[in-house]
Chains A and B, each alone.
Chain A
Amino acid sequence: MKARSFLQEAMIAAFMLIILVCIPFVSDSSAVIDFGIRLAAFAVFATSLNILIGFGGMVSFGHALYFGAGAYSFGLIMQHLDLPIPVAFLLAVGFCATVAAIVGAICVRLKEIYFAFLTLAFQMLFHSIVVSWTSFTGGDQGLMGGLPRPPFLGLNLVEPSDLYLFSMVVGVVSLLLMRYILQSPFGFTLRMVRDNPDRAKFLGVNVWRIKLLAFVLAGSFGGIGGIIMALLVSGAFPDFTYWTMSGEAVFMVLMGGVNTFIGPVLGAALLLGFNDIITRVTEHHGLALGAIILLFALVFKHGITDFIVQGWHKLTGKKVES
C-alpha cells in the first residue's frame, strides 16, 4: 500500500470535518452536540498521550497534568485578562508546553515503570497545588464564575452549535498536526528510539532530546484537549488533573489500539460511548464497564485497531501503513 502524502491526508481530514460539522443539521439533539464536543476534547487528549505510549514507548501515568493545565490556564486567562479567545488559547498551550518541558527534562531519563510513577507524582503534585491554592484556583470546587467568551471570527462560543463547530475544527486540525508530526523525520526517529534506543544511540541520535521533544509535544496537545473541555463546562475542575483522568486516557489508548494513529480516537469514542450507554441502561456502571474492559484485555489482548490491522495482515498478507 503506497504511503499517502500529507496533502491526501489533509483532504481526508477536511472531508471528515465537513461530515462532522453537518451532523447537528441532521440530528437536532443537544446530547449529540455535547458528545461531539467531549469527543473532540478526549480524542485530542488520547492521541497526544499515544505520541508517548504508542510511538515513543514511554508509558505516562500522569498525562492529565496537561489536560488540567490547559483547562486551568485557559480559564484563568479568560477570567483575569481581557484577551480574545484565540490568544488565550495559544498562551494556554504555551503554558502546557513549558510545564511539559520542565517535567519532561526530569522524567524522560528514567525508564519504564519509574518514568510512569514519576509522571504520576508530578501530576498529583500539580493536583495538590490546584486543590490547595483556593484563592486562585477555587480549590476543590474548581474554577467558578464561568468563562467570559467574547465572540471572535463570527463565532459566539456561548452558543452550543458554535462551540461544536469550534471544537470540531480545533479537534480535526490538532489531529492533523499530530499526524504530520508523527510522519515527519522526528516521528520516525521517535519510533527508532522506541524500538531500539541502543541502536539509535549507535546511529548518533540524541535519545534524551528526542524523548523530551515528544514529551513537550504530547503535553501541548494534551492541553488543547483541556481547553476544549474548559469551554464545554465553562470552568475547570480538579478532577481534570486527577489520576483517574490519566487512567481514562490510558484506557482509551489501549482499547483503541496503540500501534495506529487513529486508535486512540476510536478508543475515546468507544469509552465515551460506553459510559453514556451504560449510565442510561443500568445503575451498575462499574460492573458493565469492567466487564467490557476485561473482554478487551483477556480476549482481544489488543486494542481494536491493532486487532483489525493484524487480521488484515493475516487475510491479505499485505502490510498496512498505520
Chain B
Amino acid sequence: MDTEALFECVTSLSCLVTQTSTGLIVGSLLFLVATGLTLIFGVLGIVNFAHGSLYMLGAYIALSAFRLTDSFIIATFVGAIGVGAFSLFFERFFMRRVYGADVLMQLLVCYAFILILDDAVKIIWGSEFQSMGMPSYFQEPPVFLAGGVIPVFYIYLIGIAACMALALWLLLNKTIIGKIVRAAASNPSMTSALGLNTSLIYAGVFAFGGALAGLAGALAAPVRSMSPGMGFSILIESFIVTVIGGMGSVSGALVGALLIGLIRSFGSIGFPFFIEGVMFVAMAAILVLKPSGIMGKDSH
C-alpha cells in the first residue's frame, strides 16, 4: 500500500481534482449499470446476471452506429434503445420461463446468454480489442480546474449521468408510472389484483434496466477499449455497488457507485494491486453489518 503517494495526492488540489473526476466518471457509468440491475431486482425479484453483457452489447452497437453515422449522439441513442429492445426479447422469451423457479435456474439462463453473447460479439465484431476513439467534437483541450486535468468528455458523461439520476428520481417519485413501478415492486399480487398488467410492467422495467446498461456501454465507448468479455468486470462491480447501496434502491446505487468509483481512482494511486480486494472488503462489511445496504430498509 502506497500511503505516501495517496497522502500526497489527497493533499494536492490538482491531483485531487483529477482523481475525483476520474472517480466520478467510473462512478457515473457504474451508477447507470447498477441502477438497471437494482431496478430489475427491486421490481422483478430477479438478479440479472447477464447485465454485464448488456453493457457490452451497448458499447458494440454504439461503436457500429458511430462508424456508420459519425454522430456520437445517434450512436449513444441507438446503443441504449438497441439493448433495451434486446432486453425485452430476452425477458419475454427466456427469463419469463424461469420466474417462479430457483434463482439457480435463472442464473443458468443468464450464464448461457453471457456465453452466447460473448461469442456473438466475437463473430460479428471480432475478438481483438476495438476502440471507438474520441469523437471529434470532444477533442477539445481539457478543462483545467485548480491545476487538475478534466477531459471535456468526462464533463459530458458526468452531466448525462446526473441528468439521468434526476430524471429517474422524477420518474419514480413524481409520475404515475413511477408509482405503478414502485407498487409492483412492493406488492406484485396486489398490483395485478388492482387490474394493472404486471406482465407489462415486468417487461417494461427489464427493458428499461437493460437500456440503462446499454447506455452506459455506449457512453463508455470513447474512453474504454472493447473486447468480448468486457461485461464480466462491470457485472461484478455493479453487484458490489447494489449490495453496498441496497438491492432495489436507486439512491443506494448512486451512493454505492460514487463510492466504488472513488475507491477505484484513488486506489490506483494508493493500492493499485488491491483495488478489487478493497471493494470486496467493503461489500463484505456491509453484508455483515447491514445486509440491506446503506440505503436499504432494515426489513430483516
A/B touching: CB–CB < 8 A: yes
Tell me the A residues contacting B by CB distance below 8 Å.
53, 59, 106, 110, 112-114, 117-118, 120-122, 124-125, 127-129, 131-132, 243, 247, 250-251, 254, 258, 284-287, 289-291, 293-294, 296-298, 301
B15 beta carbon closer than 8 Å to chain A = no
Give the shortest distance, in Å, between B281 (CB) and chain A (any CB): 6
Report yes or no: B281 in contact with A284, Cβ–Cβ below 8 A.
no
Contact partner, A124, options B123, B276, B287, Cβ 8 Å: B276
Residues of chain A lying within 8 A (CB to CB) of residue B269: none
The answer, yes or no, to whether B67 is at the interface (CB within 8 Å) is no
B144 interface hit (Cβ, 8 Å): no
**30 pairs, CB–CB < 8 Å, chain A vs chain B:** A59-B103, A59-B104, A106-B284, A106-B288, A113-B47, A113-B247, A114-B243, A117-B243, A117-B287, A121-B280, A121-B281, A122-B284, A124-B236, A125-B284, A132-B274, A132-B277, A250-B107, A254-B108, A258-B104, A285-B115, A286-B116, A287-B115, A289-B115, A293-B108, A293-B111, A293-B112, A294-B94, A297-B98, A298-B97, A301-B101
Chain B residues closer than 8 Å to A121, beta-carbon distance: 240, 280-281, 283-284, 287
What are the residues of chain B within 8 A of A291 when measuring CB–CB?
A: 112, 116
Residue B113 interfacial (CB < 8 Å): yes
Q: In the bound complex, what is the Cα–Cα distance between A124 and B235 (angstroms)?
A: 14
- Give which listed residue, A106, A132, A294, contacts B273 with CB less than 8 A: A132
Known pairs A121-B283, A284-B123, A290-B111 / 15 extra A-B pairs, C-beta < 8 Å: A53-B104, A59-B104, A122-B280, A124-B280, A125-B280, A128-B273, A129-B277, A243-B236, A251-B108, A284-B122, A290-B112, A294-B94, A294-B113, A298-B97, A298-B98
CA–CA, A258 and B277, complex, Å: 31
Render B87-118 as a binary contact track against A, CB cut-off 8 A, 1 for contact.
00000001001100101110111011111111
Residue of A nearest to B278 (CB): A128
Question: Is the Cβ of B288 less than 8 Å from the Cβ of A297?
Answer: no
Within B106-140, which residues are at the interface with A (CB < 8 Å)? 107-109, 111-120, 122-123
Give A258 to B273 CA distance when docked, in angstroms: 37
Does B66 sit within 8 A of A, measured CB to CB? no
Q: How large is the interface on B (under 10, 10 to 19, 20 to 34, 35 or more residues)?
A: 35 or more
Contact A131/B273 with A284-B119, A293-B111, A297-B112 known, Cβ cut-off 8 Å: yes
Contacting pair A128 B118 (CB below 8 A) = no
Smallest CB gap from B104: residue in A: A254
Q: Please, how many angstroms separate the alpha-carbon atoms of A285 and B119 in the complex? A: 7
Instruction: Answer yes or no: B239 CB below 8 A from chain A CBs.
Output: yes
Residue of A nearest to B123 (CB): A284
The residue of chain A having its C-beta at the shortest distance from the C-beta of B229 within the complex is A286
Other-chain residue from B97, B98, B113, B273 in contact with A290 (beta carbon distance below 8 A): B113
The residue from B109, B240, B243 contacting A294, defined by CB atoms under 8 A apart: B109
Cβ–Cβ contact B120 & A297, under 8 A = no
- Asked if B116 and A287 make an inter-chain contact with CB atoms under 8 angstroms apart, the answer reads yes
B291 within 8 Å of A (CB atoms): yes
Give chain B nearest CB distance to A260 CB in angstroms: 15
- A118: min CB distance to chain B, Å: 4
Q: Which residue of B is nearest A292, CB measured?
A: B112
**A259 → chain B, closest Cβ, in Å?**
12
Using CB atoms, name the residue of chain B closest to A243: B236
| Contact assessment for B115 and A286 in the assembled complex, using a CB-CB cutoff below 8 Å | yes
Question: Once bound together, how far apart are the Cα atoms of A114 and B289, in whole Å?
Answer: 12
Closest-CB distance, A199 to chain B (whole angstroms): 21
Task: Please indicate which of the listed interface residues A53, A243, A284 has the most CB atoms of chain B within 10 Å of its own CB.
Answer: A284
| A111: min CB distance to chain B, Å | 8
Bound-state Cα–Cα, A287 to B119, Å: 6
Closest to A295 in B: B112
A254–B106 Cα gap in the complex (Å)? 11
Q: Bound complex: CA of A229 vs CA of B115, how far in Å? A: 24
How far, in angstroms, from A125 to B282 measured CA to CA in the complex? Answer: 10
Contact partner of A114 (CB less than 8 A), chosen from B105, B115, B276, B287, is B287
Q: Which residues from A are CB-within-8-Å of B103?
A: 59, 112-113
Q: Is A125's CB under 8 angstroms from B112's CB?
A: no
Asked if A301 contacts B283 (CB within 8 A), the reply is: no
User: Which chain B residues border A127 with CB–CB below 8 Å?
Assistant: 276
Min Cβ gap B229→A in Å is 10
Encoded as 1 (CB less than 8 Å from any A CB) or 0, chain B from 223 to 244 comes to 0000000000000100110010
Knowing A250-B107, A254-B104, A287-B116 touch, does A114 contact B291 (C-beta < 8 A)?
A: yes
- List the B side residues contacting A250 at CB < 8 Å: 104, 107
Q: Which of B97, B239, B281 contacts A125 (CB 8 A)?
A: B281
Q: Which residue of B lies closest to A296 (CB)?
A: B108
- Contact residues of B between 53 and 89, Cβ < 8 Å to A: none
Q: Would you call A293 and B115 a contact (CB within 8 A)?
A: yes
A110 and B119 contact, CB distance less than 8 A: no
Which residues of chain A have C-beta atoms less than 8 A from B276's C-beta? Answer: 124, 127-128
CB distance from B214 to the nearest CB of A (A): 20
Q: Which residues of A contact B101 (CB under 8 A)?
A: 301
Instruction: Please name all residues of chain B whose beta carbon is closer than 8 Å to the beta carbon of A110 when the two chains form the complex.
Output: 287, 291
Residue of B whose beta carbon sits closest to that of A115:
B287
Complex: A129 Cα to B277 Cα, angstroms = 7
Q: Which of A128, A258, A290 contacts B280 (CB 8 A)?
A: A128
The B269-300 residues at the A interface (CB cut-off 8 A) are 273-274, 276-277, 280-281, 283-284, 287-288, 291
- Closest CB pairs A-B (n = 4): A286-B119, A128-B277, A290-B115, A132-B273
A128 — which chain B residues lie within 8 A by C-beta?
Answer: 273-274, 276-277, 280
Please give, as numbers and ranges, the residues of chain B lying within 8 Å of A296 by CB-CB distance. 108
